[in-house]
Structure 1
Amino acid sequence: MSFSTANDDDAISDINITPLVDVMLVLLVTFIVTAPLLNNSIPLDLPQTVATTSLDQASPTVVSVDASGGVFIDSQAVAMEQLPDALQALHEQDPDIAVSLRADQATRYGRVAQVLADVQKAGISRLSVITESP
């Protein structure tokens, strides 16, 4: 019969991971809560860019929006109501059409967003925004 003595070195060889899981859960919840707040704190100056890249197509169709909100397709004035039909016709002529959007810095953002929505509704997927380098 064997009796255990106080000198036995039966150390626990398992690591208790419950505290580790608790800490990781707290960190995960913290990141999930704070991540949406970071998007609202980013200051943006949209019309300026540092570097630009050119399209691989030689002559993309240019849609321009002037300061008063007037819309032009390749220097031809187009009424805002006729823009979706004009873009759809261009897309039907060339399904791989590339459109470059030029908007005056003083243009209301709502007008630019409306033009972007019309480009998307026409099914045009190749869109670039033209800006000036500072």
Structure 2
Amino acid sequence: MAFGRMGDSNEPMSDMNVIPLVDVMLVLLVIFIITAPVITHSVDMDLPQATSEPVDELPESVTLALDGGGDLYWNNEPIALEKLPTRLRDVLETQPDVAIYLRADRDTRYERLARVMAEVRQSGVGRMAFVSEPEGER
């Protein structure tokens, strides 16, 4: 490998060898072409819009509450989880468009909350919402 021009050994070579640079750039280009679709892959979802304004409960609504111990309350009255489906069916007979508002304590076990949500869905309720506190109101 010569560092000078042929025949002139006193002058340094002024041309830069760009072939390794082009090779690296082509490899990087191929990597970006392959990984770009993976990075930009997303799932289209129709997400609900949320507001921070308190929502007034409609007269045809029921509030279900779960405390930290896992006890269930129907409009602030204790109820057993086994009686929930029959009570929901009774309400749906009189008010088919009833809304269920679900409040859960921060310490409620997810399993218990998921079970209550499944019971509400299986009963045929079409509208269910979570109740939360706005930040800073504690």
Paired residues for 1:16-55 under 5 Å: 27-32=36-41, 35=42, 51-54=52-55
Q: TM-score, normalised by structure 2?
A: 0.60
Q: 1:87: how far off?
A: 1.3
Matched residues, percent identical? 28
- d(CA) in 1 for partners of 2:81 and 2:127? 21
Q: 1:114: how far off?
A: 0.8
Q: 1:56–1:101: structure 2 CA closer, same or farther, 3 Å change rule?
A: closer
- Residue type matched to 1:74 in 2? N
**Alpha carbons 2:70, 2:108 under 8 Å: kept:** yes
Aligned residue pairs, count: 101
Q: 1:118–1:55: structure 2 CA closer, same or farther, 3 Å change rule?
A: farther
Unaligned stretches of 5+ residues in structure 2 = 1-31, 44-49
Structure of higher CA gyration radius: 2
Give the equivalent residue in structure 2 for 1:93. 94
Q: 1:27: how far off?
A: 3.2
Q: 1:105: how far off?
A: 0.8
- Residue type matched to 2:127 in 1? R
Q: 1:90: how far off?
A: 1.3
Unaligned stretches of 5+ residues in structure 1 = 1-22, 37-48
Q: 1:68–1:31: structure 2 CA closer, same or farther, 3 Å change rule?
A: same
**Alpha carbons 2:104, 2:113 under 8 Å: kept:** yes
Task: Between the two structures, name the one with larger relative contact order (CA 8 Å, sep ≥ 6).
Answer: 1
Q: 1:91: how far off?
A: 1.3
Give the equivalent residue in structure 2 for 1:121. 122
- Residue type matched to 1:113 in 2? A
Secondary structure of 2:73's counterpart equals strand
**Alpha carbons 2:66, 2:104 under 8 Å: kept:** yes
**Alpha carbons 1:50, 1:133 under 8 Å: kept:** no
Q: 1:98: how far off?
A: 0.8
Secondary structure of 2:101's counterpart equals strand
Q: TM-score, normalised by structure 1?
A: 0.61
> What is the RMSD of the two structures over their aligned residues, measured on CA atoms?
3.1
